[in-house]
Amino acid sequence: METNFKTMRIVSLGLISLLFLWACGSSDKKTDEQDFMQALDSAASDTPTISEEAIGDILQRIPSPLEISVLLKESGRKYDAGILNNPNNLSKYNTNYKRALNLGVYGTDLGYTNIYEQNQDGLKYISSIKSLADGLNIGQFFDVETIGRLAANSRNLDSLLLITTQNFNSINAYLQSQNRANLSVLLLTGGWIEALHIVCAVAQNNLDNQQLRETIGGQKIILENIILLLSFYKDQDENMASLLTDLEALKRAYDNVKITYIYKESTFEVVDGVMVIKDNSSSSIEITSEDITNIGNLTDSIRNKIIS
C-alpha cells in the first residue's frame, strides 16, 4: 500500500485545534516574569533549549486536521464523545507536566468536536483549555471571543492552517525565552497521543480501511522524532523520563511496520492560477491488523496515564 508524504504536513489535529485558541490572541499583554517562573514546576531552569526549527520540522510531518477529518468521515464513524478525554477531568491536572500534556489532549478533542460540528461539547473543551492555559501562564495567547466563533464554524479550518502554524512558532519561541521549551514538547506529545488514540479507535472497527492503516503506520516516523525531543529532558525531569520510557515501548510495537520511501521527480502544476511544485514521491507502508491492535492498546495505556 502507498501513501504520499506530502499529505502529512502542517500541524497535528491536536495542535491545530489548540492553536485556534491562540492564533488571534493579544500579543501585547505581558506576563509577570516572577509569577510565570513560580507557576512552572516540571523542569529545572538549566534544561536544554530545542530550536524552533527542530519542533517545526516535526509539526510539518504530522497529519493536519483536514486530512484526519476526511479519514474519519469516510470511515463512516459517527461522533463518539466517549473516545475523548472528559473536560470535567480538569481538576486532576494540578502540575505543569499534566497541564501541558492535557492542553494538547484537549486541543485534539476540541478539533474532533469541531469536525463533527458538536458545538456544545466544543464549548466545554474551550473552558477547560482556557483554565489549563491560564495555569501555565500562557493565557495571554488566548482569545475567548475568537475561540467561540471558530468553534461554531468548522469551515474555518482550512484558512487558519498557516496562521496557526506560525503562531505556534511564536509560542514556542516565547517558552524558550523562559527556558521552558519542555512545555512545547509536552503540548505536542499530548496532542499527538490523543490524535493517534482517536484514529486507532476508529481503525479497530475499520481494519480494511487502507487510509486509516497508512495514517497509523506513518506515525512511526513522528514517534521517532518525539522520542528524540523527549530524550533531551530525561536526565532533568523524571516525569518526562517516564513518558519517554512509555513511548519507547510504543516504538517497539512499531518495529514490525515497514516504511519504504519511493522517490519520483517533482513536477510543476497550476493550482487556482498559481504555479506550484508537486511532490510526486511517495512511500510504501506495510502494517498488519495485529500491528494496529498492538499500537492501539499501547497508545491507550499511555494516554490513560496522561489523562488520569
DSSP string, 175-192: HHHTT-HHHHHHHHHHHH
Residue 268 parent element (H or E): strand 267-271
Chain mean pLDDT for the chain: 76
Percent of the chain surpassing pLDDT 70: 66
Read off the pTM. 0.78
Q: Which residue has the higher pLDDT, 294 or 38?
A: 294
Buried b (16+ CB within 10 A) or exposed e, 233-254: beebbebbeebbebbeebeebb
* pLDDT surpassing 70 at residue 125: yes
Q: How far apart are CA 266 and CA 281, in angstroms?
A: 7
Q: Give the pLDDT score at 143.
A: 60
pLDDT over 80 (residue 4) = no
- DSSP 3-state of 163: helix
- Chain-centroid distance of CA 87 in Å reads 17
196 vs 42, residue with greater confidence: 196
State the average pLDDT over residues 218-233. Answer: 90
Of 211, 219, 201, 203, give the one whose Cα is nearest residue 289: 203
Q: Is residue 98 very low, low, confident or very high in pLDDT (cuts 50, 70, 90)?
A: very high
Q: Is the per-residue pLDDT at 146 higher than 90?
A: no
pLDDT at 248: 98
Residue 121 clears pLDDT 60, i.e. is over it: yes
